[in-house]
Protein backbone atom coordinates (compact mmCIF):
# COMPACT_ATOMS: atom_id res chain seq x y z
CA UNK A 1 0.00 0.00 0.00
CA UNK A 2 1.10 3.53 -0.64
CA UNK A 3 0.00 6.74 1.03
CA UNK A 4 0.62 10.23 -0.30
CA UNK A 5 -0.28 13.44 1.49
CA UNK A 6 -2.14 16.35 -0.04
CA UNK A 7 -4.16 19.21 1.41
CA UNK A 8 -7.93 19.12 1.02
CA UNK A 9 -10.39 21.94 0.50
CA UNK A 10 -13.41 20.22 2.08
CA UNK A 11 -13.80 17.65 4.87
CA UNK A 12 -13.68 14.01 3.75
CA UNK A 13 -17.04 12.22 3.69
CA UNK A 14 -15.78 8.91 2.26
CA UNK A 15 -13.30 6.69 4.12
CA UNK A 16 -9.77 7.69 3.10
CA UNK A 17 -6.43 7.53 4.87
CA UNK A 18 -5.99 10.89 6.55
CA UNK A 19 -4.49 12.83 9.42
CA UNK A 20 -6.57 15.22 11.52
CA UNK A 21 -10.05 16.55 10.98
CA UNK A 22 -12.94 14.32 11.96
CA UNK A 23 -13.09 10.53 11.51
CA UNK A 24 -15.20 9.04 8.73
CA UNK A 25 -16.80 6.15 10.63
CA UNK A 26 -17.71 2.87 8.95
CA UNK A 27 -19.80 1.68 11.92
CA UNK A 28 -21.51 3.57 14.73
CA UNK A 29 -19.31 6.46 16.01
CA UNK A 30 -17.19 5.24 18.91
CA UNK A 31 -15.23 8.17 20.40
CA UNK A 32 -12.78 7.25 23.19
CA UNK A 33 -12.50 9.47 26.26
CA UNK A 34 -9.77 9.81 28.88
CA UNK A 35 -10.50 7.24 31.60
CA UNK A 36 -9.70 9.72 34.40
CA UNK A 37 -11.16 13.01 33.19
CA UNK A 38 -13.78 11.76 30.65
CA UNK A 39 -12.44 14.38 28.20
CA UNK A 40 -12.61 13.16 24.59
CA UNK A 41 -9.30 11.98 23.19
CA UNK A 42 -8.00 13.84 20.14
CA UNK A 43 -8.47 12.20 16.75
CA UNK A 44 -5.05 11.79 15.12
CA UNK A 45 -5.93 9.98 11.91
CA UNK A 46 -7.46 6.99 10.14
CA UNK A 47 -5.57 4.43 8.11
CA UNK A 48 -6.56 1.52 5.86
CA UNK A 49 -5.69 -1.94 7.14
CA UNK A 50 -4.23 -4.23 4.47
CA UNK A 51 -6.29 -7.34 3.82
CA UNK A 52 -6.65 -10.18 1.39
CA UNK A 53 -8.15 -9.49 -2.05
CA UNK A 54 -11.94 -9.55 -1.86
CA UNK A 55 -12.04 -8.91 1.88
CA UNK A 56 -14.02 -5.97 3.24
CA UNK A 57 -11.77 -2.94 3.77
CA UNK A 58 -11.14 -2.17 7.44
CA UNK A 59 -9.90 1.05 8.98
CA UNK A 60 -7.80 1.86 12.04
CA UNK A 61 -8.67 5.05 13.94
CA UNK A 62 -5.99 6.53 16.22
CA UNK A 63 -6.81 8.72 19.24
CA UNK A 64 -4.46 10.25 21.83
CA UNK A 65 -4.79 12.33 24.95
CA UNK A 66 -3.47 15.81 24.23
CA UNK A 67 -1.42 15.71 27.43
CA UNK A 68 0.53 12.70 26.12
CA UNK A 69 1.48 13.95 22.64
CA UNK A 70 5.06 14.57 23.70
CA UNK A 71 5.67 11.52 25.85
CA UNK A 72 3.19 9.06 24.40
CA UNK A 73 2.19 7.98 27.89
CA UNK A 74 3.92 5.42 30.04
CA UNK A 75 1.52 2.48 29.85
CA UNK A 76 0.16 1.25 26.51
CA UNK A 77 -3.07 0.20 28.22
CA UNK A 78 -3.78 3.27 30.37
CA UNK A 79 -6.52 4.48 27.99
CA UNK A 80 -4.72 7.68 26.97
CA UNK A 81 -3.95 6.24 23.53
CA UNK A 82 -6.56 4.14 21.72
CA UNK A 83 -6.59 2.39 18.34
CA UNK A 84 -10.08 1.40 17.14
CA UNK A 85 -10.82 -0.87 14.17
CA UNK A 86 -13.96 -0.70 12.00
CA UNK A 87 -16.01 -2.41 10.72
CA UNK A 88 -16.40 -5.40 12.96
CA UNK A 89 -13.69 -4.37 15.38
CA UNK A 90 -14.16 -3.76 19.04
CA UNK A 91 -12.83 -1.22 21.46
CA UNK A 92 -9.96 -2.54 23.57
CA UNK A 93 -10.98 -3.42 27.13
CA UNK A 94 -8.90 -0.59 28.63
CA UNK A 95 -10.58 2.09 26.45
CA UNK A 96 -13.30 4.32 27.87
CA UNK A 97 -15.85 5.15 25.15
CA UNK A 98 -18.00 8.28 25.24
CA UNK A 99 -21.60 8.61 24.07
CA UNK A 100 -22.41 7.86 20.43
CA UNK A 101 -22.17 10.81 18.07
CA UNK A 102 -19.56 12.80 16.22
CA UNK A 103 -17.71 13.83 19.40
CA UNK A 104 -18.80 13.61 23.04
CA UNK A 105 -20.64 16.73 24.18
CA UNK A 106 -18.08 17.44 26.93
CA UNK A 107 -15.58 18.33 24.24
CA UNK A 108 -17.87 20.98 22.82
CA UNK A 109 -18.70 22.67 26.11
CA UNK A 110 -16.50 25.33 27.68
CA UNK A 111 -16.90 27.04 31.00
CA UNK A 112 -15.97 30.60 31.82
CA UNK A 113 -14.43 31.32 35.24
- Per-residue confidence (pLDDT) for residue 46, from 0 to 100: 93
Distance of CA 17 to the CA centre of its chain: 12
Residues 6+ apart with CB under 8 A from 15: 24, 26, 46, 48, 57, 59
Strand 42-49 relative to strand 58-64: parallel, antiparallel, unpaired?
antiparallel
Task: Specify whether the CB–CB gap between 96 and 34 falls below 8 A.
Answer: yes
- Per-residue confidence (pLDDT) for residue 73, from 0 to 100: 55
Using the predicted structure, report yes or no on whether residue 60 has a pLDDT greater than 90: yes
> Considering only 2-11, 29-38, 65-74, which range has the smallest mean pLDDT?
65-74
Q: What is the pTM of this model?
A: 0.74
Distance CA 90, CA 42 (A): 19
- Any idea what DSSP says for residue 40? B
Amino acid sequence: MEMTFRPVEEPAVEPIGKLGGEPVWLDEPCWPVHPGSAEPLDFIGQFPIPGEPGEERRWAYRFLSYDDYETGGTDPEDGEAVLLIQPGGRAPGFAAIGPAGPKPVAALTTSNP
